[in-house]
Amino acid sequence: MDVKEAVESKGIKLLGHYVDTVLCDTGQGFHPFVTWEVSSNGSLYSGHYFKNLEEAKKDFENRIK
C-alpha cells in the first residue's frame, strides 16, 4: 500500500507528502491538521496536531528538512 492509499483508507485527506512524512486534514476535532511519520507498512505515528493549516505547514516543512 502506498502512502496516499494508507492515509486515505482511514478517511483522512492527504495535503502533502515527502518521503515518510505527511501533512493531513483529518476533518475532525479541535486540531484537525496533523503531520505524521509513515512506517513501511503504512501505519501513521508520531503525530503533531494543529488548529490551523498554517501551523501544520510550518511543522511539515521543519520535519522534512
pLDDT digits (tens, 9 = 90+) for 3-40: 998 899 999 999 999 999 999 999 999 999 999 999 98
Residue-level pLDDT at 40: 87
Residue-level pLDDT at 15: 98
Query: What's the pTM?
Result: 0.93
Per residue in 31-60, pLDDT (tens digit) is 999 999 999 888 999 999 999 999 999 999
Scanning the structure block, which residue is given the C-alpha cell 503504512?
42
Split into its structural domains, the chain has a count of 1
**Chain Cα centroid distance, residue 49:** 9
The total of other beta-carbon atoms located within 10 Å of residue 47's CB is 13
Residue-level pLDDT at 2: 87
Structural domain range at position 8: 3-63
- In angstroms, the first-to-last Cα distance of the chain is 25
